[in-house]
């Protein structure tokens, strides 16, 4: 009996400790009756969280030679650092992100951010290359916080602003990737490489503090679902949801183009145009510019038409930029500049439009859907880097550019063989109307969940097929008022 009481006491102690660790300020506790739409400040915070988290994967890229000298290893061995980090990230996409459907996301995000910062501190301080390599894998494994931001933006953004809010989170990721390269190259050139990692450590802790006092205690998406079942869903979703697989493969091709360009660009700028390492790093500023234009484009283009139409326009813009960049870039710096600006703008448009298109695929498993999408994107990055570098080594800038042109043409073909309203794998059922839907005839209900601090059941607002106007919500409210009026007038 005493043993049972002791065990119970220990269990209560563990629960009490966890409650203190995952303390939620009163103003952030979930209230199903309140207006829980995503606000602009929170949306921007999500974008910054994505930016300074995903940057962890790219700080080492411009300073691999410096890291090789610091740890006394060969350049080939130092190149394992980004490879191992990306491998950890891939594992995190598969095994951590799906948990966002079955656990509360506030404690999950805060835990991931804090643990990543602590492991990052180990990378900053260690004098051992093997320890640095192992810690880099763990950092990559835990740096999946940005992929938890997208489902939140999809679920809680007002329909009239959904495309714009998704684009802000997406812009944050691209900003983080590019600013990491710039910051790392500049700081490491004039000071120690460890200062790069100290700056990143401080930024991560700052974002964590903001999240502690700002991020609501969002309810669980799919309560009662087991971890093995949600992992199995990742395997089955691509076969059951043609639209998800269609958009994921477009993402594969787009990210293949993106990484192929930025990888081979370094060789072209140094070998053909004889630019210094610092100037090559600053060249990424051209790619950052479209990041700030993307929310505007999303508001006035993507939000105003069917995602399929936005994707066609984005592919054509990107294809034109690649053609100019490929052939002009052999003799003039104007070619890479045009490609970097308009190519990155088109890439952002493709990713945002494809995410809007899959927002309604499975509201009960949004993080599993995101895992499928991101695994395709990640594989596209590996594919683009490997093939792009190989072709550049054999035939130079023209060959790698032709490869990127082929990827964009393949993406366009995918949009042609499956129409905007087709529900199956191929065909044009439903026509080719590319106008924005005026109303949603079949809203998709998000499942009930359990409150953070009691046992009451709360039900989310129905979430319809993504649209940037409020027609669906207005229709629901009108229906509620009509029902209320009929009840009051009934005898």
Give the separation between CA 20 and CA 13, rounded to whole angstroms. Answer: 11
Report whether 263 contacts 280 (CB < 8 A).
no
137: how many CB neighbours lie within 10 A of its CB?
A: 19
Report CA torsion sign: 386, 391, 394, 397. negative
Query: CA dihedral defined by 228, 229, 235, 236, rounded to 10 degrees?
Result: 160
User: 447-466 pLDDT, tens per residue?
Assistant: 444 433 333 333 344 344 34
Residue 179 near residue 55 (C-beta atoms within 8 A): yes
User: Residue 407: which pLDDT band, with cuts at 50, 70 and 90?
Assistant: very high
| Ramachandran bin of 200, using left for φ above 0, alpha for ψ from -120 to 50, beta for the remaining angles | alpha
Alpha-helix residue ranges (DSSP H) falling in 301-365 = 307-328, 334-338, 344-357
- Give pLDDT, residue 252: 94
pLDDT exceeds 70 at position 483:
no
What are 321's strand-pairing partners? none
pLDDT tens digit string along 33-75? 788 888 999 999 999 999 999 999 888 877 877 888 888 888 7
Greater model confidence, 372 or 437: 372
Closest CA to 145 of 192, 204, 102, 58: 204
DSSP type of residue 272: T
Residue 446's pLDDT is 47
Tally the residues of the chain. Answer: 491
* Mean pLDDT computed over 127-143: 93
What is the C-alpha R_g of the chain?
24
Neighbours of 427 (CB within 10 A): 13
If you average pLDDT over residues 211-238, what whole number do you get? 87
Report whether 352 contacts 301 (CB < 8 A).
no
- Read off the DSSP letter of residue 448: E
**Three-state SS at 420:** coil
Q: Give Cα 134 distance to the centre of its chain.
A: 24
- Measured CA to CA in angstroms, residue 141 lies from 56, 57, 87, 112, 453 at distances of 11, 10, 8, 10, 30
pLDDT of residue 388: 87
Do the beta carbons of residue 407 and residue 255 sit within 8 Å? no
- In tens, the pLDDT along 465-474 reads 344 444 444 4
Number of other residues whose CB lies within 10 A of the CB of residue 228: 8
pLDDT attached to residue 477: 46
Looking at residue 466, its pLDDT comes to 40
Distances (CA, A) of 435 to 166, 347, 355: 20, 22, 18
- Examine the pLDDT at 17 and tell me if it is beyond 50: yes
Compute the mean pLDDT over every residue in the chain, rounded to the nearest whole number: 80
**Mean local confidence (pLDDT), 134-138:** 94
Asked whether the predicted pLDDT for residue 383 surpasses 70, the reply is yes
Band of the pLDDT at 167, cuts 50, 70, 90? Answer: confident
Q: Which residue has the higher pLDDT, 316 or 304?
A: 316
Tokens of 130: 């093997």
Angle at 311 between CA 305 and CA 316, to 5 degrees: 120
Is pLDDT at 14 greater than 60 in this prediction? no
Question: Is the pLDDT score of 206 beyond 90?
Answer: yes
Residue pLDDT, tens place only, 231-283? 888 888 888 888 989 999 999 999 999 888 887 887 888 788 887 767 776 77
Question: How many Å apart are CA 79 and CA 324, to the nearest integer?
Answer: 32
pLDDT at 491 over 50: no
Which residue has tokens 């869903």?
233
331 or 482, higher pLDDT: 331
- pTM: predicted TM-score of the whole model, two decimal places: 0.75
Task: Count CB-CB contacts under 10 A for residue 206.
Answer: 13
The dihedrals phi and psi of 330, each to the nearest 5 degrees, come to -80, -20
Distance of alpha carbon 86 from alpha carbon 88, whole angstroms: 5
- In the block, residue with structure tokens 């479209």: 290
The mean pLDDT value for 425-433 works out to 77
Whether the pLDDT of residue 298 is over 80: the answer is: no
Give backbone dihedrals phi and psi of 457, rounded to 5 degrees, phi first.
Answer: -95, 135
**Residue 474: its pLDDT value, please?**
44
pLDDT digits (tens, 9 = 90+) for 87-132: 899 899 889 988 988 888 899 999 999 999 999 999 999 999 999 9
> pLDDT band at 9, cuts 50/70/90?
low
């Amino acid at each position: 009996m005493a043993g049972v009481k002791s065990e119970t006491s220990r269990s209560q102690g563990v629960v009490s400790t966890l409650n203190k660790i995952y303390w939620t300020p009163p103003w952030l506790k979930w209230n199903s009756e309140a207006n829980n739409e995503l606000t602009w400040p929170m949306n921007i915070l999500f974008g910054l969280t994505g930016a300074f988290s995903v940057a962890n994967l790219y700080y080492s890229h411009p300073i691999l030679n410096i890291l090789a000298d610091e740890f006394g290893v060969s350049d080939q061995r130092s190149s394992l650092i980004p490879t191992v980090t990306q491998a950890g990230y891939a594992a995190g996409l598969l095994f951590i992100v799906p948990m966002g459907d079955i656990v509360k996301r506030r404690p999950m995000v805060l835990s991931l951010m804090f643990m990543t910062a602590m492991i990052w501190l180990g990378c900053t301080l260690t004098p051992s290359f093997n320890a640095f390599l192992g810690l880099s894998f763990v950092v990559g494994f835990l740096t999946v916080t940005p992929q938890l931001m997208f489902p939140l933006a999809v679920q809680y953004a007002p329909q009239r602003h959904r495309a714009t809010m998704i684009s802000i989170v997406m812009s944050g990721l691209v900003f983080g990737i590019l600013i990491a390269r710039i910051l790392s190259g500049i700081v490491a050139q004039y000071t120690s490489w460890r200062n790069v990692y100290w700056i990143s450590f401080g930024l991560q802790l700052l974002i964590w503090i903001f999240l502690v006092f700002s991020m609501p205690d969002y309810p669980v998406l799919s309560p009662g679902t087991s971890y093995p079942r949600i992992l199995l869903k990742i395997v089955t979703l691509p076969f059951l949801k043609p639209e998800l697989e269609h958009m994921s493969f477009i993402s594969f091709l787009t990210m293949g183009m993106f990484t192929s360009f930025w990888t081979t660009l370094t060789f072209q700028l140094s070998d053909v145009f004889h630019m210094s390492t610092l100037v090559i790093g600053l060249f990424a500023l051209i790619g950052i510019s479209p990041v700030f234009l993307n929310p505007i484009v999303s508001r006035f283009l993507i939000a105003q038409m069917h995602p399929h139409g936005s994707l066609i326009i984005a592919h054509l813009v990107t294809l034109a930029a690649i053609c100019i960049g490929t052939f002009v870039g052999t003799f003039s710096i104007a070619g890479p500049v045009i490609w970097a600006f308009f190519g990155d703008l088109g890439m952002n448009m493709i990713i945002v439009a494809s995410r809007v298109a899959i927002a309604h695929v499975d509201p009960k498993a949004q993080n599993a859907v995101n895992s499928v999408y991101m695994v395709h994107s990640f594989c596209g990055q590996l594919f683009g880097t490997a093939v792009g570098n190989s072709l550049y080594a054999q035939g130079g800038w023209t060959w790698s550019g032709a490869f990127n042109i082929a990827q964009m043409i393949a993406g366009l073909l995918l949009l042609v063989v499956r129409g905007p309203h087709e529900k199956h794998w191929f065909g044009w059922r439903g026509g080719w109307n590319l106008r924005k839907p005026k109303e949603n005839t079949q809203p998709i209900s998000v499942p009930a969940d359990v409150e953070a601090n009691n046992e009451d059941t709360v039900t989310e607002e129905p979430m319809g097929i993504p649209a940037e106007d409020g027609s669906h919500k207005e229709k629901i409210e009108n229906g509620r008022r009509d029902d209320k009026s009929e009840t009051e007038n009934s005898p």
